[in-house]
């Protein structure tokens, strides 16, 4: 999150909790603590939080992070492209050796 997003968050919190204090120092501190958080997810968390709590939240209570990117599909596509470069006779040799190994281990 950036500083402007923290300001938007504080506007929301100030509407819900009229005694919630807002000042530049507090905005800067929260912005520093929330730099790696996802604004949309934080807002979802805070909207749930305010439904059940009569006191304003701490950063920890509304913290929300974007999920780690899933690179599995990308990695699989790269492997597929690499496999296409392998000559057919090499693939056939590998298949034969693998079948032989499986037969030996099955005994």
Query: pLDDT tens digit string along 64-104?
Result: 999 988 888 889 999 999 989 999 999 899 999 999 999 99
Domain ranges of the chain: 3-62, 72-106
Q: Are 34 and 42 in contact (CB under 8 A)?
A: yes
Is the entire prediction scored with pTM above 0.75?
no
Residue whose entry in the numeric block shows the structure tokens 């950063």 = 59
Q: How far does Cα 97 stand from its chain's mean position?
A: 42
**pLDDT tier, 20 (very low <50, low <70, confident <90, very high otherwise):** very high
pLDDT of 30: 98
Mean pLDDT to the nearest integer, 17-23: 97
First CA to last CA across the chain, in angstroms?
Answer: 60
Closest CA to 59 of 9, 16, 4: 9
Q: Taking 90 as the threshold, does the pLDDT of residue 57 lie above it?
A: yes
pLDDT of 37: 97
Q: Which residue has the higher pLDDT, 67 or 31?
A: 31
Q: Tell the CATH topology of 3-62.
A: Helicase, Ruva Protein; domain 3 (1.10.8)
């Amino acid at each position: 999150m950036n500083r402007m997003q923290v300001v938007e968050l504080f506007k929301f919190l100030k509407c819900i909790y009229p005694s919630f204090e807002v000042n530049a120092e507090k905005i800067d501190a929260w912005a520093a603590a929330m730099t790696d958080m996802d604004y949309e997810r934080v807002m979802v968390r805070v909207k749930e939080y305010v439904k059940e709590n009569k006191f304003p939240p701490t950063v920890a209570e509304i913290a929300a992070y974007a999920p780690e990117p899933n690179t599995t599909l990308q990695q699989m596509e790269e492997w597929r492209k690499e496999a296409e470069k392998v000559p057919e006779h090499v693939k056939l040799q590998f298949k034969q050796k693998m079948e032989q190994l499986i037969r030996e281990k099955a005994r």
